[in-house]
Structure 1
């Protein structure tokens, strides 16, 4: 059976089509995404008035009621943008086309923009994706949970006699973090970052409905789940899955995140680990959606997201 990503159904948009549509059509697309209720007709973001003047020479609007000027990206995650609408749309398509993520370096080369521009733009798209996860309710039904460690790599010494056992806490650098995943079968995937996998016990209690069936591995800290859930355990030293328990979907998420770390980004740890984990969870949940459908979902999320506080003026603050 042919894999979905190899089928024609997986390809419903291309960069060629984006650049062929031109700037005017790309602008109309963003208007439709921003104001779907009025079929792309501008609505003042300050007072909600639908009566506006159209300043066509600058692609801006002026509200009849409050007299404030605004653009289609005002108040969104793309506020104060410098890129053209065609480039923004192309960036979204490039971003979703990478099954295991796309590096900021590749985006900068494909769009011929500075690395800083591509880096911040990519993280703004991840922030828009994260809003969907934040709005998700509690997981129900059958939920798989697991944890995996990222970051904190300590390079071994050159000479064998000088090497230390990096499994001991005293020989670590304190930067190692655990990504905890909760994956509802046929539903949403939630990810969190903690100091250890044991932190996942409290997170499962908080984000999974009581009485749900929870699948976990043999780690002792998951023993605490048996009181509130129908917990099923799998011992990976004996089998990867059985008829009673399986965490393969959680492992599938970690496989995608690990491949992104090793082959695409090379470094997903530190303060940005949660953003990369959320992105890979989104990709897992929408892996059977065409790239055109994924691009539309990301664009809609970005236009619905408020102006970013974490990434607005990021490089100016870091300077």
Structure 2
């Protein structure tokens, strides 16, 4: 019997040990190569595009010979104004790449020895960066769509006489959200977060190209998709796959997302649920890559992403 790829040595091409053995200088060189790949790590001025710069080694900065602008390898990226050492940033990326179902911020803060707040913002910045990989993309061919509800749990009363029907709208918290997923077979996975699964119809029509074939369950709101797409429906009370209709890949993703939320994070605010869904989708799409390739992709996306308007100075605003 052939060994599964994820269990093989080929899936392990990067380790925390190698990151820390390389030290700060090697980690810094890695960031430079990711930022300025076209010049093999040589700095390019973000203001004028000049390729000649003086190195200010005492501060790991550069000064452009053409315009005099001073910049660093993280200037203008999602890591702008960072205070963490490059080796710790790289280690955090490796930890997040190795965690197949995510990692809690408490664990990450312990692993790289930083405050919980630092780990929280760092992880969300990386989630924002990797989500940019599918920005503007559309799905085509055969696409499976489905939705799953998260959060909004209503704790039952201790005494049976005081218990209410938690299924009724008037007895719910209003914090419940649904993750709607559209997953192209042999393609990408794109998600959104809405208040109800029915709101996902507009999302599907936006990101799935006309002429595609859709697979959905028997929920009534998906009936609207028949007007625009050839749509197969599956009744899960009868079967998981029948007459060519199947949403198993979409449901597989949602099951992994639920395990991520329940098993690692335990609680996810509806405000940030979309970022966790994006992270799970990205992991799902890259699950057959080695951990070294995954970490490299994450770092490259982060270095290509501009300063985050949502997470820059987050704790100063939220305090």
Alignment of 1:243-282 (within 5 A): 243-282=243-282
Deviations 1:194-236 (A, max 9, x none): 1100011111111111121100001011111111101000100
Question: What TM-score comes out, normalization by structure 2 length?
Answer: 0.98
For structure 2, the residue ranges without an aligned partner over 5 or more in a row are none
Residue 112 of structure 1 aligns with which residue? Answer: 113
Indicate conservation of the 8 Å contact 1:49/1:65, yes or no: yes
Deviation at 1:9, TM superposition (A): 1.6
Alpha-carbon RMSD: 0.9
Residue 174 (1) aligns with residue 174 (2): yes
Residue 193 of structure 1 aligns with which residue? Answer: 193
Deviations 1:126-166 (A, max 9, x none): 0101111214x211000000011011111011111111111
Q: What is the aligned residue count?
A: 318
Alignment of 1:65-104 (within 5 A): 65-104=66-105
SS at match of 1:253: helix
Question: What TM-score comes out, normalization by structure 1 length?
Answer: 0.98
Residue 228 of structure 1 aligns with which residue? Answer: 228
SS at match of 2:216: strand
Deviations 1:78-105 (A, max 9, x none): 0111111111110000011111001111
Residue 10 of structure 2 aligns with which residue? Answer: 9
Deviations 1:2-50 (A, max 9, x none): 3332221211100001111111111111100000111110000111111
In structure 1, distance between residues paired with 2:107 and 2:284: 22
In structure 1, distance between residues paired with 2:146 and 2:269: 18
SS at match of 2:271: helix
SS at match of 1:270: coil
In structure 1, distance between residues paired with 2:126 and 2:138: 24
Deviations 1:266-286 (A, max 9, x none): 112320000000000001001
Deviation at 1:243, TM superposition (A): 4.1
Residue 309 (1) aligns with residue 309 (2): yes
Deviation at 1:302, TM superposition (A): 0.3
In structure 2, distance between residues paired with 1:302 and 1:206: 26
For structure 1, the residue ranges without an aligned partner over 5 or more in a row are none
Residue 318 of structure 2 aligns with which residue? Answer: 318
Residue 36 of structure 2 aligns with which residue? Answer: 35
In structure 2, distance between residues paired with 1:25 and 1:52: 20
Indicate conservation of the 8 Å contact 1:150/1:269, yes or no: no
Residue 49 of structure 1 aligns with which residue? Answer: 50
In structure 2, distance between residues paired with 1:228 and 1:270: 31
In structure 2, distance between residues paired with 1:197 and 1:7: 39
In structure 1, distance between residues paired with 2:317 and 2:310: 10
Indicate conservation of the 8 Å contact 1:31/1:72, yes or no: yes
Residue 149 of structure 2 aligns with which residue? Answer: 149
